Amino acid sequence: MSSSSTAGGWRELHLSLDTPWAEVHHADIATAMRTRAVDTSLGEETSRTVSGAAPRTSEQTSRAVVELRGIRKSFGSTEVLHGVDLVVDPGEHVVIFGPSGSGKSTLLRTINLLEEPSEGSVRVLGVEYGPGLGSNERRGSAIQLRRHVGMVFQQFNLFPHLSALHNISLALRSVQGIRRREAEERAAVALRQVGLLRWAAHFPGELSGGQQQRVAIARALSLDPEVMLFDEPTSALDPELVGEVLAVMRELAESGMTMVIVTHELNFAREIGDFNVFMDQGLIADSGPRGFLDRCDNPRTRQFIEAVL
């Protein structure tokens, strides 16, 4: 992508912000987001993400891809999230880390409503999907929400009875209603993006963990999501297979995809994280922009980072 086209993308975004958000076509947003994200890597003066630690004003968040406000979640009588706010901007890579049981996976899963929050607002691309803060707000359905949000799971969750290709084409046919032939062709393209075209006819059971996770990433990407969620994508992998999955994620990040990643791979987090979130006991205990992992001075955060690295 050339820098001239990215500049165009910037202008397009600002123009579109003059119109009410609901009227903006999603494709326009997607284009604008991708191109803007390239800007963040090119020059810091064009990017807000470097100032991520500063409080985000409503003007800033109006173009956010994901906005969580006051998220509380209880399982039975146990509350695991005690009111969490998180904003993810277009093209931003948010990394969430913290001890197990701190609520980071639950938080991630509220973004696409796999966990229905008990309280709070889940806004994606400006549309409210969660319980909401105001009572008179119109809400989108969970299915609409999930069509904008891709997710990759720790356990891959490929469909074991379908080949790699059909794992992807089933999703395409079910969600976008396209014909089998076209779905299979697009699935093949998606597999090629993660370097697994040769394995198209193989079943998940015949693939290594790393390959399975790459198929899972391809499956989520084939539906053109606006944001990708990663729930400990490398935690179930043999150490030698972690690299290939991280490589795919790195490439995806460089292409400008908006990403929210729950991970224990702090080296990867340091490299990729535009905004870093440390969760502890159901709250965001600490957070900061790029460089946060090396600079943070909160003793609890430091202690955790040093223990993991």
Q: Is 203 in the site for other proteins (CB under 8 A)?
A: yes
Contact with other proteins (CB under 8 A) among 159, 179, 235, 238: 159
Contact with other proteins (CB under 8 A) among 17, 42, 50, 114: 114
Q: For other proteins, give the closer residue by CB, 102 or 169.
A: 169
Contact with other proteins (CB under 8 A) among 9, 117, 150, 288: 150
CB 241 within 8 Å of CB 248: no
Q: Which residues contact 300 (CB under 8 A, 6 or more apart)?
A: 278, 280, 285, 286
CB 37 within 8 Å of CB 258: yes
> CB under 8 A: which stretch of 8-16, 29-37, 43-51, 188-196 binds other proteins?
188-196
Contact with other proteins (CB under 8 A) among 171, 215, 248, 260: 171
Alpha carbons within 13 A on the beta-carbon side of 221: 26
Q: What is the largest CA-CA distance in the chain?
A: 56
Q: Which residues of 243-272 are buried (b: 16+ CB within 10 A; e: fewer)?
A: ebbbebbeebbeebbbbbbbbebbebbbeb
Least Å distance, CB 265 to other proteins, is 21
Contact with other proteins (CB under 8 A) among 14, 26, 161, 179: 161
Contact with other proteins (CB under 8 A) among 112, 211, 212, 213: 112
Q: Which residues contact 167 (CB under 8 A, 6 or more apart)?
A: 158, 159, 187, 204, 215, 219
Take residue 240 and report the two structure tokens written for it.
């030698």
What residues line the site for other proteins (CB under 8 A)? 112, 114, 142-143, 146-147, 149-151, 153, 155, 157-161, 163, 165-166, 170-171, 174-175, 184-185, 187-189, 192, 197-198, 200-206, 216, 219-220, 223
